[in-house]
Structure 1
């Protein structure tokens, strides 16, 4: 095992993390911005009004993109485990 392999594996893991987290974070951020603008316009500052739509949006994104996220993670883990004998041998 050399340093190049470790750095490549770490880079791939970070890119995978960013790719998988981006749909959920982007959606929750967009919903949060929309709710914040709505609260500023109507001057209604209720904490649950900010929390509940974000939660619903996150659940919806997980329901839609969850299978893709899971299969992407499983493929990465499978490739990593399959590369162990090649790296050690």
Structure 2
């Protein structure tokens, strides 16, 4: 195994990680920004108010996106097994 193969495997791993975790993080970010905007407009300065909506949005998006995430992880694992089999 040479450096090029190792870099390709690392790149594939990072891209899979971004594809799997990215949508959940974006949902949390958007919900957090919306709640913060609402807090700013209404002058509510409760710090714990952002926690519950972000938690619920993350939970529901996780349930909704779980098939996509499992498909991406399964494809990644299949590619890694193919790489292991192809080793000389």
Same fold judged by TM-score > 0.5? Answer: yes
**Alpha-carbon distance between aligned partners in 2 of 1:78 and 1:19, rounded to the nearest angstrom:** 16
State the superposition RMSD in angstroms: 1.1
CA deviations on 1:54-76 (whole Å, 9 max, x unpaired) are 00110111110011101210221
How many residue pairs get aligned? The number is 88
Listed as ranges, the matches of 1:1-80 within 5 Å are 1-80=1-80
* Secondary structure at the counterpart of residue 44 of structure 1: coil
1:81 aligns with 2:85: no
Q: Which runs of 4+ in 1 moved over 3 A?
A: none
Question: TM-score scaled to structure 2, two decimals?
Answer: 0.91
Larger RCO: Structure 1 or Structure 2 (Cα < 8 Å, ≥ 6 residues apart)? 2
**Alpha-carbon distance between aligned partners in 2 of 1:70 and 1:45, rounded to the nearest angstrom:** 39
